[in-house]
Homo-oligomer: A and B are copies of this chain.
Amino acid sequence: MTADLRQRIFAELSSLCIVDPHTHINPHAPAAGNLSELLGYHYYTELAHSAGMPKALIEEPGIDPRSKVERLVANLAPLENTIQYSWLIEILQTFADFNDQRLTPENWQQAYDTSLGRMQGHPWADHVLQTSRLQAVFLTNDFDDPLEGWDTSKYIPCLRTDDLVFHLKSPAVRDRLQAATGQSVTNRNTLTSALHALFHHFSAHQARACAISLPPDFIPTRVSAGRADIAVENLLMHGEQCSPADQRAVSHFVFWTLADFCREYDLPFDLMIGVNRGVYADGVHQGRDLYDSRVSLIQYRELFNAFPQVTFPVSVLASVTSQELASYAWIFPNVVTNGHWWYSNTPTYIEHDLAGRLEAVPQTKQIGYYSDMYKLEFALPKFNMYRRVLAKVLAERYVVDRGWSEERAVALGTTILKGNTERLFGIAPAAP
């Protein structure tokens, strides 16, 4: 019986104080203010909508938080099987004295009131961090974020670059870039200067990573200076009407330049590979994106070879790509496996993908998990889901199958869950 063994390993892993290396936390409002901000997480709105709840009911303008929760709760029954639903119940059990297995029209009001009382107690966010044993979380900052007004050792800046690589044809994006950097963008050189200014700004504010999400058809390549000159000039002249070829050349040029600054500023470059945006056009907010599993890391061959000094923590959307990721991290010194992203962030796929990585990628090159959360409360159930799977794999595949001692298995789990994140992103561990 491995149940006890799994439980013991899980308990050891749960006692660790950790860093969450990728979230969408707003540092000015890191925790939820009421239950609506938990139920408003796209997993619940998109799954309720998928199960039949009209979008208009979910996204009615001006709806008050209590009514929104009432409506969503009435549509949660079809989701009770999902792992995402279990996150919600675990949050309520941990943080709101909730004792049931289901959130229903009968019991939601008490959960609402209890959680509201807690959330409005003042050091709520810090309480959540402590209860979740979180030392710090990474943010996802727009490139023009002033990065001021919070403790950057607890809420660590990360430069998110999707807008720069894919939306520079938009005048609004270029205006934001100019406003953020004081650099007017008129050609390749001034564009490079503006990007440089961003890295200087982020680095000065303790940013520890640069990040981007990438569509499946993206194949980055080095663009010659001459070609970049022309493409940038055409993009500045034609904006949204710029030719696809010029847009692509600018995307590649900006992407390559970002990688170059990551090298110069010693920042890992998180690549989140594979998402198609807006596939379900009429979906709810943040519930429109999907993917095409026909993507390969061979598309990043030139990049990985060109920047041996840059660490690339790579996330992929589909389990099929996760085997490639394990293989590329096994061969390329600068490729690191990074968490279990989005549509692969469910126990069955985590188990398969994690086991595949543990067996073939050096233990120092695996960032076990990040929560991707928007509100702090979700770290606990999401990391617990991961820790349970990690404990299962360590118990079954290391202690049982390979005869490892329990201590050795826990040490491996600790490296994956905690040590690598600290080391690869340069975060000093908390005092024990």
Contacts and interface: CB of A to CB of B under 8 A. Distances in A.
Interface of A: 1, 3, 46-47, 49-52, 78-84, 86, 101, 276, 279-283, 287-294, 296-298, 301, 304-305, 308, 318-321, 323-324, 326-333, 343-344, 346-349, 352, 355-356, 358-365, 388, 392, 397, 400-402, 404, 408, 412
A282 B332 CA distance: 9
Contacts of A328: 290
16 contacts: A46-B331, A50-B362, A50-B365, A51-B333, A78-B363, A81-B359, A81-B412, A280-B331, A283-B332, A287-B331, A289-B331, A290-B324, A290-B328, A291-B324, A293-B321, A346-B360
Nearest to A308: B282
A276 B101 CA distance: 46
Specify which of A84, A296, A365, A388 lies most central, judged by the most chain B CB atoms within 10 Å of its CB. Answer: A296
Contacts of A279: 298, 301, 331
Specify which of A327, A328, A402, A412 lies most central, judged by the most chain B CB atoms within 10 Å of its CB. Answer: A327
Oligomeric state, in number of copies? 3
Given A51-B333, A333-B51, A282 B305 contact: yes
B332 A280 contact: yes
B50 A332 contact: yes
Contacts of A289: 331
A364 B294 CA distance: 28
A276 B327 CA distance: 12
Contact of A50 (B52, B281, B330, B358): B330
Nearest to A51: B362
Given A50-B365, A83-B359, A293-B321, 12 more contacts: A50-B333, A82-B359, A82-B362, A82-B363, A280-B331, A283-B332, A287-B331, A288-B331, A290-B328, A291-B327, A346-B356, A347-B355
A86 B402 contact: yes
Nearest to A331: B280
A308 B364 CA distance: 47
Given A279-B298, A330-B47, A360-B346, A78 B323 contact: no
A80 B363 contact: yes
Contacts of A401: 347, 388, 392
A313 to B, nearest CB: 14
The 4 A-B pairs of least Cβ separation, nearest first, read A51-B362, A348-B355, A78-B362, A81-B363
A349 B343 contact: no
Contacts of A320: 293, 318-320, 323
B3 A400 contact: yes
A356 to B, nearest CB: 5
Contact of A296 (B294, B297, B323, B359): B294
A412 B77 CA distance: 11
Nearest to A343: B327
A333 B49 contact: yes
Contacts of A327: 290-291, 343
A308 B281 CA distance: 11
Contacts of A308: 282
